Amino acid sequence: MQPPRTVSLTPGKRVLFLTKDPELIRRQLSGELNLKMKDLKVADLLDDINTDAMTPAWVCFDWDPAEIAKNAYAGLVVDGKRLFSPRALMDGNFEVIVSGHRKGVGSSRETAAQCEKFCGIRIAVAASFAPIHAGNNTNLGTLMADHTMLERLQAGEALPLEDFTKGFAPVPKLMVEHGGLFPLADAIRQGTVKVPVPSHPARPMTSAEKILAGHLQGGKGPVYLRPGDSVCVKVDAGYSHEFTTAQVHAFLKDQYGPDYTVADPKKFAVFEDHLLYADQVTANQPYKTKIQTLRDMQGIFQKHTGVRDYSAKAGRSPGICHQVAREAFIDPGDFVQATDSHTTMGGGSNALAWGVGATEYAGLLQSGLTFVTVPESIRFEFSGRLRPGVTAKDVILLLLRDFAKPSKTLNRSMEFGGPGLKTLSPDERATLANMATECSARAGIVDGDEALVDWIAARRPGADKAALRKRLVVPDPGAEYAGGTHRIDLSAVEPMLATPGDPDKGIPSDPTNGATVAEVGAVPIDIAYGGSCTAGKEDDLDFYAKVMREALQAGRRVAPNVAFYIQFGSEAVEAYARGKGYLDVFAKTGVTVIPPGCGACIGCGPGVSEKAAQVTVSAINRNFKGRSGPGKLYLASPLTVAASAVEGRLSAYREGMFA
């Protein structure tokens, strides 16, 4: 249903302000308190509300949006108790929800946007929105506004719909005007709406602009794009996993009927990786039936569509979707879309890749095409070489602190290059691209080079290196970067640690001794976890094994009262580790090894905390409250995680530390 041409608040409906004071939220939910924007400041409102807070993993075990909505904001926990009881948002008679900066950071899960919409929310207000979450709102037809607009609405003013599309590119503007993605797609299919094709004079382009220009539909001759252009582009590859596929299947059936088809199944896939070990976590025990339903629906979808099948066999997964995709089918220059925020990891393969919600993925899967707005870019030029004990994870934690926290990367394509890039392996480059999404960036893309060609060819028998070489993308000389070009001396980077709550809370190790992190002191740990798409690659296994081998030689092992888990990112990584003799080292030093898959990173596998008092140091990508159990979660590099496991406390690795 299309929204009206003017928008006003509905008499009798309410506005919910997500304030930093939880008591004010409780009083609003109970109906005791109604607030006005004119009586508040933006600084009074919660910033960085992440999608895990809106719909924690266990809420996503439901695939029906109406069921998901009953537990909206179940992840907002204060003093161990939910701030939002079941149906609190649904039964509160709210139509507007208000927060501070960077609403919807974290996972790409569309359930976060669905939980508001199916509770009656039609306007989301924030100072800024994370790009994937903003796209999900637009796809679902939820209007977005700023705090000044809310003041006008609460004063009784009716705002023209144009006020809600100011600054929007043409296609998102059309989407808002039509009430969402599927209504707009219908209008385009019926010929009542045409997507304009940009026409600009020749100009140097960034890597993101060049890839999108090469995928443009409807253009003639050389095409030059600019940030803000709305375009219809071909999608080369994509995938979904058992957390998301059920919704994709349901949405396609609802929109196109039970006999729906997909455009090209050859480079699209399903993965069974996220929930394979979910039932090993105590908190997930009540949801076994729902988890199996998700698996079953993915199987139905795969058989119906014929997309690539990376389902588990005999209880073993081929691996995490992002890692397997880069090993198996993502090529340089590809444009990749998938239903997971860490799709950006494809940028390590010189592809342009980002996560989308289930609605958007269903649409592009059916047509092979999608609508995008060309993003602005920000450039990072690396020089020097990382010192021993420092990894790409430390680099991205530094960039998170210095660039993402002040919103310099927000909704931009992060591009990585410079002479220092050549000192980083393809696996380490993939770490940078993977965590671009933690920076609330649109994408992360690494300059293509011969090292990448060799890496891909080594994993694909018969690969044509000359063809891969032709696909490599680098920015044009003189390309414009709205976010600027920033020079990073890799040799100056220290081992980093992100303190609990957000990956942008990074602090360096203490340079006086190289071991204890200065600002947090000697913090004892209970759990160390090495794995996830970010840290389950071959190079990461090299890092874990290096530390544990040195410990073994010094007669050391995992500290008493510490559980150290290492989980492989794929079957290929596991085979690599076995061939290197790492499994023997891990066994002798007390490491628990887990077969390939996702798990603890989303609270769905061994390595999660079970009690609030537990402390974890982890090589995963995000440490939002409750993300991987109720305990405190620190983020660090694979080297720091392994060193901490041996020391029994937070400890940055340094060579010879066990001697």
pTM: 0.90
Answer yes or no: are the C-beta atoms of 409 and 433 closer than 8 Å: no
Residue 328 amino acid letter: A
Note the pLDDT of residue 517. Answer: 57
Residues 6+ apart with CB under 8 A from 172: 135, 138, 165, 230, 371, 373
Q: Do domains 207-373 and 495-659 have the same CATH topology?
A: yes
- State mean pLDDT over 9-20: 97
CA 90 from centroid of its chain's CA atoms: 27
Q: What is the pLDDT of residue 121?
A: 98
The domain 495-659 having CATH identifier 3.30.499.10: the answer here is: yes
Q: Picking from 181-185, 225-229, 344-348, 525-529, which range would have the lowest pLDDT averaged per residue? A: 181-185
The dihedral region occupied by 218, where left means phi > 0, alpha psi between -120 and 50, and beta the remainder, is left
Buried b (16+ CB within 10 A) or exposed e, 54-78: bbbbbbbbbbebeebbbbbbbbbbe
Give the Cα separation of 444 and 441 in Å (integer).
Answer: 7
**DSSP-assigned beta bridge partners for residue 459:** none
For the segment 17-33, the average pLDDT, to the nearest whole number, is 97
Distance CA 147, CA 126 (A): 7
CB atoms within 10 A of CB 462: 5
- Kindly give the interhelix angle for 638-647 and 538-553, rounded to the nearest 10 degrees: 30
Alpha-carbon distance of 632 to 625, in angstroms, equals 8
- State the average pLDDT for the chain: 94
Residue 540 has pLDDT above 70, yes or no: yes
Identify the H or E element spanning 369: strand 369-373
User: Tell me: domain 6-186, CATH 3.20.19.10, correct?
Assistant: yes
For range 85-107, the mean pLDDT: 96
* Residue 626 pLDDT greater than 60, yes or no: yes
Q: Which residues pair with 77 in a beta bridge?
A: 82
Distance, in Å, from the CA atom of 568 to the CA atom of 530, rounded to the nearest integer, reads 9
Each residue's pLDDT tens digit, 388-422 = 999 999 999 999 999 999 999 999 999 999 999 99
Highest mean pLDDT among 191-205, 377-391, 519-533: 377-391
Residue 521 predicted with pLDDT over 60: yes
What percentage of the chain has pLDDT greater than the value 90? 87
Task: Report which of 291, 235, 300, 234 is spatially closest to residue 270, judged by C-alpha positions.
Answer: 300
What pLDDT does residue 510 have? 65
Q: How far is CA 245 from CA 34, 83, 104, 403, 654, in A?
A: 39, 30, 21, 34, 43
The CA distances from residue 207 to 212, 272, 308, 328, 471, in Å, are 9, 32, 28, 22, 12
Q: How far apart are the first and last CA of the chain?
A: 69
Q: In this model, does residue 547 exceed pLDDT 90?
A: yes
**Residue whose C-alpha is closest to residue 66's, from 26, 116, 21:** 116
pLDDT interval class at 514 (50, 70, 90): very low
Tell me the domain boundaries of the chain. Answer: 6-186, 207-373, 495-659
Does 31 score more than 90 pLDDT? yes
User: At 16, which helix (H) or strand (E)?
Assistant: strand 14-17
Q: Which fold has domain 207-373?
A: Aconitase; domain 3 (3.30.499)
User: What is the C-alpha to C-alpha distance for residues 525 and 344, in angstroms, rounded to an integer?
Assistant: 31
Average pLDDT over residues 94-114: 94
- pLDDT-based confidence at 516, cuts 50/70/90? very low
Nearest to residue 621, comparing CAs of 569, 570, 575? 569
